[in-house]
Every structure is written in C-alpha cells, then in structure tokens.
Structure 1
Amino acid sequence: MFEIRRATPSDAQTAFDIRLQAIRHQCIGAYTTEQMLAWTAGAASDGYNDLMEKHFYLGCIQDEPVATGMLDLEAGEIGAIFVLPRFMQRGLGLKVLNHLECLARDLGLKAVTLDATLNAADFYRRCGFVGDAPAIYHSPSGLQLACVPMVKRLLL
C-alpha cells in the first residue's frame, strides 16, 4: 500500500538519494550527462536538508520511501517530485502530485506553479498544468537547466 507522510529532518539523505536516482534514470536524453552529474552532485547537507522544513513529503510502500514531493507555500510552487526508478510507471508521482494539490487547496492557494523538467512537461500537462514556453531554471547551486514553467488553477 502506498502512503504519503510528512518528511522529517532525518529523511534528508533518503530524499536526496531518491532525487539522485530519479534524475539519473529519467532525464537521459533531456539533459546532457554533464548536466545530470552537476545537478546531482553534492550531498543532502549542502542545502537539501533545509527543504525538509517545508511541506516536504515522502511516498512510502511498506514504510520504505520510494517517492518525494514538496509544496513551497511562500512561492505557491510544487517541486521535488521524484520516484525511485524501480517504482516508476505505477502512478506514484501522480499520487504525490495529487496530495500536494489537495494540500495547496486546503491551505487556500488558488493556483500552483512548477518548473517542469523537459522530460516531465507532458506528464504535468496531462495533469492539468498549462505552459509551453521554455525557460532556464537557476538552481541555488548555480546550475542552469532548461525547463518549462507551468501553472495550474485549483478549484476550491
């Protein structure tokens, strides 16, 4: 059974590892090897652990974390939706996304935004997000990646 729980500071390394594996598996072809390696360089202690203080969630199967997702209330932004490669194509990313959208709606947000990776833009469009114009995402580490900014209006 798939359950979603709030992450704690002690989950930072696990969440970082899920992110690393998902990027290196799912983003082949959308980004260069050099970009993916730079994107996944470092450690959770380089700032990823600070995200655990936000509305950061882990999707778990039998208490094993297999997916992540985050809602940044200040920015009204969904991010960090990653699924371990061996659990991809089971609808888990969609379940995490739906959970975050419900949370955003419950907290009074009228819309949410995200910066879709090139390989995930079609997934988000199927989920009701709108956006086609390419842009450049500037990560806190200084990495620049092509992305597609998207928005979804939430029905209250």
Structure 2
Amino acid sequence: MAIFLAAVTDTAAADYSPEQIQAWARPETRELSTWHAAMHARNSYVAIVDGEPAGFSDVDRFGYIDMMFVDPRFLGLGVARQLLAHVEAYARAGRLTELTANVSITARPFFERYGFTVEAKQHPVMIGVQLTNYAMKKNLLSN
C-alpha cells in the first residue's frame, strides 16, 4: 500500500488538487488486510529494484488492469514498462483480445505510448470529490 500512497500523493500531485489527492488516497480508511485480499484475488505483479519493491500492477481474468503504480523513487527506470509487459503476457497467454483500465491524468501518456487509446473521459466521485480519469483500451489482436 505504501507504493500506492506515494504514487498518488507525490507523482499524481502535479495533475490533481490536494483535495482530489486526499479523496483518492484515503489512507485513513484503507485496511491493509482488505488491500492484500484484493491483490490476491487478481493476478498481481511486484517489480523489485535493488531488493526493494519499486512498483506493482494487476490484471483480472477479463483483462482489466485495476492498479499500476510505481514508487516515485523508481520513476524513469522502466518499472511500469516491465509491469505492463507482464500484464500483457498474461492476457495473451489467456487468449484475451484486449486490456482495459481506468487511467489517471498522470498515467495517460504512459498508456498511450504503449498502444492504449482513450475510450472515454470520466469523472468519478470519491467521498464527494470529483476526479478525472480515462477509460482506456488496448486491442491485443492488432499487435
């Protein structure tokens, strides 16, 4: 959970207001056991750099990527690229035809660089605060 919180509160702070960051991160309401159970329910991957967890991602059996976060200390080292490669390999091995994700403003350029396209701009509300993200999709049949 520490990587998620650092990524949201540090990396995404350039694209979201402090109020939006607090609504998204909600550290005081996140239960570690619930977090771990959710991670185990999906195909989850952790990237390790120099013996430290540097990022994580997951993908469900339908090709939905729920989370992909990189510790700000490891940005620019290809961590997200490697995580996405694992996710995509899982999807292809399962003969899935696409990957989908709800992607932050911050992460949108990364996902576009690796073949995802915006399907819709969205405005989810978290604890009464509106955020912006993008429903994105990558067609695996054409790649």
- Fold shared, TM-score > 0.5 on shorter chain: yes
**One-letter code aligned to 1:45:** L
CA contact (8 A) 1:111 1:152 kept: yes
How do 1:112-127 residues align onto structure 2 when only pairs under 5 Å count? 112-127=99-114
Unaligned runs of 5+ in 1: 1-15
Asked if 1:65 corresponds to 2:53, the answer is yes
Q: CA 1:28–1:98 in 2, change beyond 3 Å: closer, same or farther?
A: same
CA distance in 2, matches of 1:100, 1:144: 29
* TM superposition score normalised by structure 1: 0.79
Whether the 8 Å CA contact 2:119–2:137 is kept in 1: the answer is no
Superposition misfits of 4+ residues, deviation over 3 angstroms = 141-144
User: What count of residue pairs does the alignment treat as equivalent?
Assistant: 139
Q: Is the 8 A contact 1:117 1:148 kept in 2?
A: yes
Q: 1:68, 1:96 within 8 Å by CA — same for their partners in 2?
A: yes
CA positional deviation for 1:119: 1.4
Of the candidates 17, 32, 44, which is equivalent to residue 56 of structure 1? 44
Letter in 1 for 2:12: C
1:37 CA drift (Å): 1.4
Specify the SS of the correspondent of 1:109. Answer: coil
Question: In the TM superposition, what is the alpha-carbon distance from 1:145 to its structure 2 partner?
Answer: 2.5
Structure 2: 5+ residue stretches without partners: none
Question: Structure 2 length as normaliser, TM-score?
Answer: 0.86
Q: How far off is 1:137 after superposition? A: 3.5
In structure 2, what is the Cα distance between the partners aligned to 1:122 and 1:66? 20
Asked if residue 32 in structure 1 is aligned to residue 17 in structure 2, the reply is: yes
Is contact 1:115-1:137 (8 Å) kept? no
Q: Answer yes or no: is the 8 Å Cα contact 1:114–1:149 preserved in 2.
A: yes
> SS of the counterpart of 2:10?
helix
